[in-house]
Structures are given as C-alpha cells and as structure tokens.
C-alpha cells in the first residue's frame, strides 16, 4: 500500500511539474475560467467540441501542485469523451476524493485519476482536486461567470 501511495505521489508530482496540454487553443469552441478562493488556484480551460465530443483541450493557470496535477491529468482523461461520459466520470472522481459513494460504486475505470484517492484525507485539498472539473463543466456550458469551488 505504501508503495502504491508513493507511486501516486510521484505521478502527482510529475504532472504538477510537467503539466500536459498546457497553453491556449486557437480554435476553441468553449471556454471557462475557474477559481478556488480557499487555496488561490486559478485555471482557464479551452475546449474544442465537435458533435458533443471533446476533440481537444488546453489549460492555463497557476495553483498548487494538486490543482495543477488535477487539470493536467483531466486533460488526458477526457479527450474523445462525450459530455455525458464526462459527467459520469466527474461523479466517480468526486466520490473518490470525498470518500463518498453516491454515484453507484465502481471507482475502478478511473484510470490514472485514481491517484487522487489520498486527497480525501485532506478536506481542504478536495477543492484543489475538483476545481479543474468544475471549470470543465462550466466550459462545456460555455458559462461566462468564473466557475468556483464554492456554491
């Protein structure tokens, strides 16, 4: 278990130091900004959506290691997925990081996103891990106001 935990930490560290899909999308069809006031994490997400499917994604932002790793891993996880698939994935991810099981079991097939399981032990960090998802959902709806982790 501790080996697994170290592996998870390595992956979070790697993605926070070398984020994937960072930058702007010239032909973005959808965009949203997100902000987590509790930590100061900021993220901007550009999407190219075609026929209800994510064709491409880029992000910009500044934040803590968890929020940066979260958005980096998210960009890898959602490419090619539909809006509905993303909502389901977010439900499972939310269950994973909060330790709840509201979205019907199976926390498997989260793939690399499972690395955030340890976050549940740090309630403050849950918002760092979910900011990118709130921002992604806002982008899919093309919301103009800044997405926030606070309701």
Segment interacting with Zn ion (CB under 5 A) among 8-16, 45-53, 116-124, 125-133: 125-133
Window 3-32: residues binding Zn ion (CB under 5 A): none
Number of residues that bind Zn ion (CB under 5 A): 5
User: Which CB sits closer to Zn ion, 36 or 75?
Assistant: 36
Rounded-to-5 percentages of helix, strand, coil across the chain: 50, 20, 30
33 and 146 in contact (C-beta within 8 Å)? Answer: yes
The per-residue b/e assignment along 99-109, b for 16 or more CB within 10 angstroms, e otherwise, is eeeebeeeeee
Binding flags for Zn ion, 81-120, as an x/- string (CB under 5 A): ----------------------------------------
Could you tell me the end-to-end alpha-carbon distance of the chain, in angstroms, rounded to an integer? 35
DSSP β-bridge partners for residue 30: 47
Find the binder of Zn ion among 128, 129, 137, 138 (CB under 5 A).
Answer: 128
Q: How is residue 105 annotated by DSSP?
A: S
Output the smallest distance, CB 125 to Zn ion, in A: 7
Across the strands, what pairs with 44?
33, 60
Q: How far is the CB of 27 from Zn ion (least distance, A)?
A: 30
Query: What does the per-residue mask of binding to Zn ion show for 29-68, with x meaning CB under 5 A?
Result: ----------x-x----------------------x--x-
Structure tokens belonging to residue 97: 């990081």
- Both tokens of 9, joined, read 């930490």
In the bound state with Zn ion, the residue whose beta carbon lies nearer, of 16 and 67, is 67
Q: Which residues bind Zn ion (CB under 5 A)?
A: 39, 41, 64, 67, 128
């Amino acid at each position: 278990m501790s080996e697994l935990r170290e592996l998870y930490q390595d992956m979070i560290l790697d993605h926070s130091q070398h984020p994937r899909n960072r930058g702007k999308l010239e032909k973005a069809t959808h965009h949203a900004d997100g902000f987590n006031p509790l930590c100061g994490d900021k993220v901007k997400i550009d999407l190219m959506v075609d026929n209800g499917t994510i064709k491409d994604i880029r992000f910009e932002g500044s934040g803590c290691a968890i929020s940066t790793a979260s958005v980096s891993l998210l960009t890898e996880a959602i490419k090619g997925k539909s809006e509905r698939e993303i909502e389901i994935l977010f439900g499972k991810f939310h269950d994973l990081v909060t330790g709840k099981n509201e979205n019907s079991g199976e926390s498997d097939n989260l793939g690399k996103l499972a690395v955030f399981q340890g976050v549940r032990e740090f309630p403050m960090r849950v918002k760092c891990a979910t900011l990118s998802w709130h921002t992604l959902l806002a982008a899919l709806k093309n919301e103009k106001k800044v997405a926030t982790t606070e309701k």
